[in-house]
Amino acid sequence: MPVISTNTAANTAVRFLNINADDQSNSLAKLASGSNINKASDDAAGLAIATKISSDVAALEQASTNASHGISVLQTADGGASNIADIVERMKVLASQSASGTVTDTERAYIQAEFEQLQEEIDGICESTRYNGQSLLDGTSDFSVDDTETEAVVTSTNTATTHTSTSAAAFTGLDNSATGSTTTFTMTVDDGTTTATISIDVNANTTMSASDALIEINADLSAAGSTVTADFDDAGNLVFTNSADSAITLGGTDLDDYQLDSGVVTASSDTAAGYENTSATKAESATFTINDIEITVTTDYDEATTTSSLSVDDLITQINDGLHAEGEYTFEASIDDDGLLQITSLETGESASITLADSTEDEGTLDLADFGFAEGTTTGKTVEVASTGAEIIVGSTSADTINLSIDSLTCEALNIDELDVSTEEGAAEALSVLDLAIDQISAARSEMGAIMSRFEFRSAQIDTSVENLEAAESAIRDVDIAKEQAELSASSVKVQAAVAAASQANQMPQNLLSLIS
């Protein structure tokens, strides 16, 4: 109905005018900013997603820079390593020249002078190859490999000292059948550190079996903390064995009842002390291989005592001479801190390997077991350190990393710091060790190249990710200009229509006044 108190039509027109004006303002804001989201209410979920994508893109752009820096570090290190490889190659040429019989010791002294200068230059390059103030090749930078590598070591085993019952008859046990009271059978066993007292009670008019007596003997030895144990040999004789490889001393008044003699039995000669056979008829020999290099060792034979023997020093000399005759100086025989014979590699880590095998062509009269060695392959170890090298961030989270590790290539690390080519023997050793150094440098450069390749692939992947993420963010955040322009045009027309409608609504009360005039 027509009224003049409330202009409902004008209110409606103004309400739509405000709505259309807001739509027009929003469209203008989007067109002016180029963004589809200018305030959170425009698209709350889209704003959250776009913000997260934006932060990932920023992190990835920095990751791309990190990868580029990593490549630069490796390129710098590889340049230095390349020069070191050239120097080691020259050192090998000098070693070959010095090893030749065509030069004299005078010329070798001149060769050694250049050799020493090249050794110093290698260390100089390792120190001067720097990136951001850090020397990359001397093991002092944040990129240095901190893993611990061990040599391949084969160690001879000691043969335990043994003391066997001397009656040449099997030990049958303890006999107390002829007495009228309990008898205690005693003896003492000294392992070199501890003296154990064996005390076994046997009831009157009875006997104790050999097996029960053995149980009692070992119980008393164990209770005393002795390193000696008792057992039976194949003939049933009672045998005492000292795992500590020290002398066994037997004592006591009842040893005859155990079919044992008193006295001291020293360590077997078939240990790291060398080899001895006191009933030989001639010199003995053993032929075996160390990493496919055939080694032959021969004992000394004493015809007067019919003793075939080989001291540990002579054994070491013959093994090393056999290796050196084949130009192999990268592992050698020696005595360890415990006095045991060992063969040690110069190379370290999992690639270090020593393989021992008895010869199948010329077996000789002895084998590896006679010197305490067993056939098989022993390798070195690499103990990885969690903090080794530097973790380079190449992604949008802290878990996206590539480890950048660079091996030290100093003379000490290459095991060439003590080489001396001033003698023919030293030059021959240098030839063998320098080959190992060249392999080590090649392995280090190969690792650098592999990591560099990984950085390059990751850098390409980062660029692809940034491109795709920016496209995804654009789909959410950027305004569709054509669509928004159409929306603006519609809003503009609606605003104009609302203004016209409001104007008409405001004229309606005036028209009603004509009814009462």
Contact 456, 71 (CB under 8 A): yes
Contact 333, 340 (CB under 8 A): no
- Rounded Cα–Cα distance for residues 227 and 248 (Å): 10
* pLDDT of 223 over the 50 cut: yes
Looking at residue 266, what is its pLDDT? 52
pLDDT tens sequence across 118-165: 999 999 999 999 999 999 999 999 999 888 888 888 877 644 455 665
Token digits for 293? 């290099």
- Rounded Cα–Cα distance for residues 472 and 451 (Å): 31
Looking at residue 5, what is its pLDDT? 67
Return the closest-CA partner of residue 62 out of 377, 393, 494. Answer: 393
Distance of CA 317 to the CA centre of its chain: 33
pLDDT tens sequence across 474-513: 788 777 677 778 877 877 888 788 788 878 877 777 777 7
Token digits for 364? 């000789």
pLDDT tens sequence across 263-292: 666 544 334 556 777 777 888 888 999 999
Rounded percentage of the chain residues whose pLDDT exceeds 70: 92
pLDDT tens sequence across 162-198: 566 554 467 888 888 888 889 999 999 988 788 999 9
Looking at residue 271, what is its pLDDT? 42
Looking at residue 387, what is its pLDDT? 76
- Rounded Cα–Cα distance for residues 480 and 500 (Å): 30
CB atoms under 10 Å from CB of 243, counted, come to: 13
Buried b (16+ CB within 10 A) or exposed e, 424-440: eebbbbbbbbbbbbbeb
- Rounded Cα–Cα distance for residues 290 and 302 (Å): 29
Looking at residue 269, what is its pLDDT? 38
Q: Which band of pLDDT confidence, cut at 50, 70 and 90, is reported for residue 108?
A: very high
Element (H, E) at 492: helix 481-512
pLDDT tens sequence across 348-359: 888 899 999 998
Looking at residue 260, what is its pLDDT? 77
Domain ranges of the chain: 50-145+393-470, 161-265, 272-383
Contact 164, 239 (CB under 8 A): yes
Looking at residue 169, what is its pLDDT? 61
Looking at residue 349, what is its pLDDT? 86
**Cβ contacts of 457 within 8 Å, gap of 6 or more:** none
pLDDT tens sequence across 292-311: 999 999 988 888 888 888 88
Class of domain 161-265: mainly beta
Looking at residue 491, what is its pLDDT? 78
Looking at residue 435, what is its pLDDT? 94
Q: Hey, what CATH topology would domain 50-145+393-470 get?
A: f41 fragment of flagellin, N-terminal domain (1.20.1330)
Q: Where are the beta strands (DSSP E) in 203-319?
A: 206-209, 228-232, 238-242, 248-251, 263-265, 274-277, 285-290, 293-298, 300-302, 307-311
* pLDDT of 68 over the 80 cut: yes
CATH of domain 272-383: 3.30.70
- Rounded Cα–Cα distance for residues 29 and 47 (Å): 16
pLDDT tens sequence across 375-413: 899 998 888 777 788 999 999 888 899 999 999 999 999
